[in-house]
């Protein structure tokens, strides 16, 4: 399979959110992408010590590298001027200076290295690959002080974690007072563990190392501390960075600080504060012409809105991000925006809008689509919710193939099991879930396993699974709904109704519409079992209307089945509507529902 363009955000790494392609050709793009995953703290976000029109970045920051292999006349000056701009996130201004340095000295490895990062943040998918290849090629025969700047990223891109860590540590220890040398050990978290890096930073601060005067030091300390849930340390680091990022030249650096503060605010439940900080950061990028970063801020706004439980608003933000990213062509970042937006549209009960969003990227090259372990599962899950079983089934194989890239992803397995369940193959679905040993402890897997056990009338087994679900909001709501179903099927109608009512309230707290709809459907069934036909009919009518208006085809079939089961047994209307539902369910490929409708027709 081909490696995606290096300007596409790759799958996150171990220690972050997912893992990179193993090919060396993506090494520099992958390294740059970590910056995005780290929330914009950035490689070059240093305080400006002198203007690029003078001597550029402080020569001592790259003194050893420049002395190890002195560049041609003028190349070092252009390079340092570019570095001064990079330290302020002024990527568009830095690129021509790095190009000038390379033109003056084509054997100088560092300018293409820095140009790779600048182009990445500008969303350039054309020139990044060439710059990356040049940096790797030129560093291969360079002195250690240059080679070691490249090797950690190259090994990281090849999944050679031990070599990555060794190279990063060697560079870090070789120049302990130079942040450029310290950075790879902090940045490439799949190599050097965050606790180790934080300990190194604590020692540097205790010794008053010159490296601590760099604003990048504070920003990276804040990021790593946040990742380790040391929020107080993160806040203190940002407070230290604050005076270092003032002034118009540091506006992009300050935007990164605002984004980091937004993470802390959101984690503390101060969602409106977080959104305000992100609005200010995004304006900086828009005004400065950094559209790629502005698009990233849109995704961060969406994540804050998810934290608030406002899934529809979050989906709209992801859709806005996709629109901003489409100017950069077919990128992985755009696929991820579509996938995340679709998930939020589903959570908001809008499968048609989810499908429309995914349709915008479905024609992208497979080398980009296949780089995310969950994108094919997303296509399938959206099709399933729309009542398109053939479309869902068609995505099972590519979704399962993606598990080789991310074995921690549950969505491909859940899609396959849900399709098998609806195809009336419950044993196959159960075996699939039980075989997914790496995923079996996850609440969402256990909840589906409980459904399958209830389908097979194994009430005792289902109870054991349900009792093992966590007390988090979503699994708690699912557990209550499943307990209500178990009690209803055991003939405990009153207890089932009470439990289903609790499930509805718990589902409301999740702010996820399908979860609430499932709980309401179970409540209607429990009411029917306990003789509350009028209340059940009202609930089913409401759900029927919701399913029709939002294109929720699977829900519509479930509601129709409940409506049929509510009719008097042996009545002509029940038989006719049940037979019609059998035909409809079979045509859509929902064989489990067709079987249940057939059973309703025969009683």
DSSP conformation letters of 184-214 = HHHH-TTTS-HHHHHHHHHHHHHTT-GGGGS
Neighbour tally for 273: CB within 10 Å: 16
Question: What token pair was written down for 241?
Answer: 């960075």
Helix axis angle, 179-187 to 144-157, nearest 10°:
10
Identify which of 535, 596, 537, 543 has the alpha carbon closest to the alpha carbon of residue 566: 537
Residue with tokens 């950069």: 328
Band (pLDDT 50/70/90 cuts) for residue 37 is: very low
Instruction: Provide the pLDDT for residue 120.
Output: 81
Give the pLDDT band of residue 4 (cuts 50, 70, 90): very low
- What is the sign of the dihedral through the CA atoms of 290, 291, 297 and 299? negative
Distances (CA, A) of 369 to 1, 208, 569: 11, 47, 50
* Structure confidence by residue, pLDDT tens digits, 249-273: 999 999 999 999 999 999 999 999 9
Share of the chain above pLDDT 90, in %: 71
Least-confidence region, from 22-36, 144-158, 199-213, 544-558: 22-36
* Other Cβ atoms closer than 10 A to 464: 12
Q: Band the pLDDT of 551: cuts 50, 70, 90.
A: very high
Query: Phi-psi bin for 74: left (phi > 0), alpha (psi -120 to 50), beta?
Result: left
Average pLDDT across the chain, whole number:
87
Judged against a pLDDT cut of 70, whether residue 100 lies above it is answered with yes
Q: Cα separation of 178 and 493, whole Å?
A: 71
CA 479 to chain centre: 26
411-422 and 426-435 helices cross at what angle (nearest 10)?
A: 160
Asked if pLDDT for residue 26 goes beyond 80, the answer is no
Q: Cα 73 from chain centroid?
A: 46
Q: Which burial class, exposed, middle or buried, applies to 598 when counting CB atoms under 10 A from its CB (0-12, 13-18, 19+)? A: middle
- The DSSP letter of residue 47 is P
Confidence of residue 497 (pLDDT cuts 50, 70, 90): very high
Residues 6+ apart with CB under 8 A from 70: 76
Q: What is the mean pLDDT of residues 156-160?
A: 76
CA 435 to chain centre: 25
Q: What does the alpha-carbon distance between residue 382 and residue 533 come to, in Å, rounded to a whole number?
A: 32
Which of 148-162, 172-186, 275-289 bottoms out in mean pLDDT, i.e. has the lowest? 148-162
Burial class for 471, CB neighbours closer than 10 Å (0-12, 13-18, 19+):
exposed
Q: Which two tokens stand for residue 280?
A: 């200010």
Mean pLDDT of 345-367: 95
SS3 content of the chain, % helix, strand, coil (to 5): 75, 0, 25
Q: What single string gives the DSSP state of each residue in 223-276?
A: HHHHHTT-HHHHHHHHHHHGGGG-SGGGHHHHHHHHHHHHHHHHHTT-HHHHHH
Q: What pLDDT was estimated at residue 522?
A: 98
pLDDT higher than threshold 50 for residue 570: yes
- Tokens matching residue 278: 């992100």
Which residue matches tokens 């220690």?
15
């Amino acid at each position: 399979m081909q490696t995606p363009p290096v300007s596409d955000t790759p799958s996150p790494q171990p220690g972050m959110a997912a893992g990179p392609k193993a090919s060396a050709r993506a090494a520099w793009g992958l390294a740059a992408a970590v910056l995005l995953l780290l929330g914009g703290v950035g490689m070059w976000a240093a305080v400006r010590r002198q203007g690029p029109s003078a001597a550029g970045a402080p020569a001592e920051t790259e003194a050893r590298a420049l002395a190890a292999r002195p560049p041609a006349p003028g190349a070092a000056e252009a390079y340092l001027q570019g570095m001064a701009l990079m330290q302020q996130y002024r990527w568009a201004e830095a690129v021509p200076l790095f190009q000038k340095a390379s033109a003056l000295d084509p054997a100088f490895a560092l300018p293409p290295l820095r140009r790779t990062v600048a182009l990445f943040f500008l969303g350039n998918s054309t020139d990044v690959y060439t710059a990356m290849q040049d940096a790797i090629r030129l560093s291969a025969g360079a002195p250690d002080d240059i080679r070691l700047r490249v090797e950690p990223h190259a090994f990281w891109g090849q999944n050679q974690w031990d070599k990555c860590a060794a190279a990063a540590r060697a560079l870090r220890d070789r120049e302990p007072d130079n942040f450029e040398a310290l950075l790879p050990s902090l940045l490439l978290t799949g190599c050097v563990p965050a606790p180790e890096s934080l300990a190194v930073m604590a020692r540097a601060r205790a010794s008053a190392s010159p490296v601590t005067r760099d604003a990048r030091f504070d920003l990276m300390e804040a990021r790593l501390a946040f990742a380790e849930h040391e929020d107080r340390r993160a806040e203190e680091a940002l407070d230290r960075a604050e005076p270092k990022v003032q002034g118009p030249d540091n506006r992009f650096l300050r935007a990164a600080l605002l984004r980091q503060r937004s993470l802390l605010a959101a984690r503390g439940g101060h969602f409106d504060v977080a959104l305000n900080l992100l609005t200010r950061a995004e304006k900086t990028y828009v005004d400065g012409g950094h559209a790629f970063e502005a698009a990233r801020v849109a995704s961060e706004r969406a994540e804050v809105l998810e934290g608030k439980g406002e899934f529809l608003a979050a989906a709209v933000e992801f859709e806005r991000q996709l629109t901003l990213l489409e100017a950069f062509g077919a990128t992985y970042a755009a696929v991820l925006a579509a996938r995340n937006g679709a998930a939020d549209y589903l959570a908001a009960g809008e499968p048609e809008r989810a499908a429309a969003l995914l349709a915008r990227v479905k024609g992208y090259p497979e080398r980009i689509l296949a780089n995310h372990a969950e994108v094919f599962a997303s296509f399938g899950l959206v099709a399933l919710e729309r009542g398109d079983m053939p479309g869902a089934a068609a995505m099972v194989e590519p979704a399962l193939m993606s598990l080789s890239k991310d074995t921690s992803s549950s969505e491909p397995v859940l899609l396959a099991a849900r399709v098998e369940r609806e195809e009336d193959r419950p044993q196959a679905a159960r075996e699939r879930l039980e075989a997914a040993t790496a995923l079996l402890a996850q609440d969402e897997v256990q909840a589906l396993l409980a459904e399958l056990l209830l389908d097979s009338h194994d009430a005792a087994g289902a109870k054991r699974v349900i009792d093992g679900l966590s007390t988090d909001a979503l699994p708690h709501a699912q557990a209550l709904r499943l307990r209500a179903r178990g009690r209803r099927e055991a003939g405990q109608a009153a207890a089932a109704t009470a439990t289903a009512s609790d499930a509805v309230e718990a589902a409301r707290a999740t702010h996820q519409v399908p979860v609430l709809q499932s709980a309401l459907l179970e409540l209607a069934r429990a009411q029917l079992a306990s003789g509350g036909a009028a209340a059940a009919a009202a609930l089913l009518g409401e759900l029927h209307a919701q399913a029709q208006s939002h294109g929720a085809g699977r829900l519509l079939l479930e509601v129709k089945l409940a409506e049929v089961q509510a009719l008097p047994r042996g009545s002509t209307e029940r038989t006719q509507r049940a037979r019609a539902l059998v035909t409809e369910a079979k045509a859509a490929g929902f064989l489990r529902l067709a079987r249940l409708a057939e059973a309703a027709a025969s009683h």
